[in-house]
Structure 1
Amino acid sequence: MDKLVDAAVELVEAGKLGQAVQVLQQGIDVLGAAYPGSPELGELHNQAALLLFLGGQPDQAATHAQAALEVTQAVFGAAHPLTAHRLLRLAAVRVGQGRGDDARPLLAVTADMLGPYPEDMGLHEAKYYLGLLQAGAASSPSDVVAADDALLAPLKVLAPAMGPDSMIVRLAVGQHSRLVGAALDSGRGGFALGEALFQQHIRLQEAIAPDSPELGLTLYQLAVTYYAHDMLPEAGTVLQRGAALVRQHYPEGHDLVQMFLHRLGMICAAGRDPRAAQQLLSASKAYYASQAQGQGGPGQAEGDHPLAHEADAGLAMAA
């Protein structure tokens, strides 16, 4: 079993998530036929649930999480800490399915079962997901802020212990990102609620890795959201902070750095800073026009790149 899990992990690290799930499924089929009640079978189902959840397939993940729970509970009993971990995995997947009402009692039971083991990361993961449900139920920005401690306290334990890039931490923070997107898309509670969740997401990322390029990209997304709502000063401030983070990791000519500078130029154009807009967008137009020529092959018109066209529009605004 260890070899199967190691092979799956190597495939995940190589960006081959689908193949990793296939490897685990093959092991499940073989082991399930030979030893249907073995604890190793429960672990393979658990690993498959994790990978499918990470791959954005919570419904399929739930099937494996349920199977892992049933096998583990049959072997070790309902009160065993390993059973609590299987219950936690199912609860987390239920959150990902948008079934918070089903997840909440499972998480509460998990937290009670693991309460005597404060060093167990499952306890802190369960507390995080309970905090996530609290944030997801928020109806106002103040409700969102009130959930900060419930999210940040367990995350500050999980991230150093498991690593900021571990599957568990990535899944946990990714589920909060889903909350942000759902609030902004639905308009529930108005823009202020989505903005508060966005800012909370930034606080979570700051707690994990305050200098990460991923945080820079989140700041870019918030800046674009502000730009779309004509909140130009806020957009500019957030974007400049994000650009500074990205520049710590990438050279000036990198696509990500240019993306930030282009968006800053558009904000300057809309915000009536023509001098800065002309400088930034002229460089942006040349950059993306060059990209179009290099990638388009014969017949590719100069400047035939969507962002080159947007730069043209920004330059016209700034004129």
Structure 2
Amino acid sequence: MDKQTIRVMWFVPPLLAMVAAQDRRSLVTQSIRNRSSDEQFNALVAGEVDAVVTSMDNGIGWNRRVGPQDFRVVAQVERTTPLILVARAGRSNMSALRGADILVDAPDNGFVTALRAMLDDAGIGRDEYRLVPAGGVQERLEALLARQGVATLLGPPFDAMAVKAGFVRNASVQEHYPDFPGQGIVMRTGSRARSLVGAWLEDLERARQLVQERPALARQAVVSAGLPVAAADGMIALNPQSLRPTSEGVALLIAHRRALGLAGADSDYPAIVDDSLVHEHIGEKA
């Protein structure tokens, strides 16, 4: 019997997906690398993919756009997403970003919300810097190396690549906000692929347990995918305790939007997260 295929779009392959792909019982994953969160939004609206792996804040922002407004986070695939604000040499503190062009994926949703909150906390006015859309993490690194912009948020291994090229670490999202959540799986509630996504969550849960119990096998899966051992170990360290999105992380995303006066500040956990697939397919209770 042929395996079912799930269509998923992401910036970089998440650890659990790489580990799950080694399991013969797993679904076939048709993965599509995207260059921006707008590509993810458009693909979900058009029904070209079944789910995306992305910043959970995107689900909040997308539900405020013209369109279906039925996006929900159905799982969380990492404990947190490590994000480093990388800048040109000589700009090693946030006050040095006044007047700077800062490269982002999108100006109103995603990881940019945490970035804006950090700048706000540092007392940098919203008219004292410019957010310049430059695409996903790889695209932002390429733009930074091409001397476009002054700073951007990067995750591993892209932050290390920027530092090796002469840029400096300016700030860490995790140091500012320890409860910052990892990437989530976002889908539309009206999607016909609900059962398919649920079956994929079963695959990811088996992978999560394997990472926890047999990290050496998880490391091998990552290295086999072409990533260095250091990247594998970093991913393994961020293995979540559960696929259920954390209430603390979601609350932080809402708090950031409230502090910044962004749409979605009146959201609550059920408006952002549909954890019923985790309950139905994995058996976890809230």
TM-score exceeds 0.5: no
TM range (shorter): under 0.3
Q: Which has the higher helix share?
A: 1
Q: Which has the higher strand share?
A: 2
TM-score computed with the length of structure 1 as normaliser: 0.23
